Amino acid sequence: MSGLTHSSQQPFAARLYAAHVPTAGVVVQARFFGESLHIDAHPDLQIPCAQVQADASGFDGQTLSLSWLHGDGRVALQPVDAVAQAALLATAPVTLQPALKNWRRGVRQQSRRWLTLKLAVAAVIIAVLLALAAFALSFGALVDWLAERVSPELEAQLGASSFAQLRAEHGLIEQGPLVDAVSSIGGRLTAGSRYRYHWAVKDDPSVNAFALPGGYIVVHRGLIAAAASADELAGVLAHEVQHVERRHSLKGMIHDAGWAAALNLVLGNASGVASTLIYQAGALSYSRDLEREADHYGVMALVAADIDPAGLARFFRTLMAQTPETVALLSSHPASAERIAAAEHEIAALPPGHVYLPLAIAWPPAAVPVQ
């Protein structure tokens, strides 16, 4: 090989594959000398370039592979990296150019195939994203449709099962002055309802209240303590009642429950779904539209019950002045200034001069600590 030094080209690293080497090949130094391809340290491998074939290889079809017949088998040589491949192409003699031209044509064809595949994959991804976006946009309508498949009787079963589990896990006050105050106001707000309402107080100092499907209302002791009057408590109760009457609580639970629970509910398995849904009690968050709807119909329910509706807006204004982190009700029922202003505007538009029937409740009711 020493006679090659004065006219041989720069060597390039390549991996040699042949019958007499390991399956993974061996790394060698190769170079062109005149019109021949030489493999350093393998003096018997001096191949005329006219006998060399060039093919595309590798995952993406971009790698150059030189091959030729040797003895009874075929030998292949592949540059180890892009630098080595560039060196091979730069030093290849004229005799090898036709074979390299065929390789370049194959690379271009493979590139087009890869581009077509990438465009097809991109089209599928875009189609999936568009489908998901369309599904997300129509999910609210789907939840409404599922809620309509639930009968009031099944809704009541769901509420009863959830209420029973809540009672077992957290304990509820279901009789005494606090419950009497809540149920007295609630009875006036729900007269004539298709639901049979159940009222309870949770011995919890946080300011919160929530409605379960089917007419189950739970008020935290801390909310009663925070209300400055029976009218303010009535405003919160009217709002919660409308989440039941408008089936907001049912829709919210279906929305958050997942497909398995929602399907069980639609098929009539209320008790099996209750354990899945109970953790949501008190944490359901409603959209702004649903909150405004509960405000609107809450005001109407207060007026129908001859209770001063100003207590609703007044209580939420009081809560907004407090630290939001201490008022659980604000996390699940965001009381925006816009919502409160809308409620006040609606109240101001009511016929003037009406004197509402006072709530015959001593305030604060007994057993409410002074905060």
Q: Kindly list the catalytic residues.
A: 240
Distance (Å, whole) CA 181 – CA 356: 18
Among candidate residues 357, 331, 336, the one with its CA nearest the CA of residue 220? 331
Among candidate residues 256, 297, 260, the one with its CA nearest the CA of residue 143? 256
Helix (H) or strand (E) holding 39: strand 36-39
Other C-beta atoms lying within 10 Å of the C-beta of residue 95:
17
Distance (Å, whole) CA 259 – CA 270: 14
Q: Which residue has the tokens 């305030």?
A: 363
Distance (Å, whole) CA 251 – CA 188: 25
Q: Which residue has the tokens 């030093």?
A: 91
Distance (Å, whole) CA 32 – CA 89: 10
Mention every residue, 6+ apart, whose C-beta is less than 8 A from residue 181: 224, 230, 233, 361, 365
Distance (Å, whole) CA 131 – CA 128: 5
Report whether 207 contacts 226 (CB < 8 A): yes
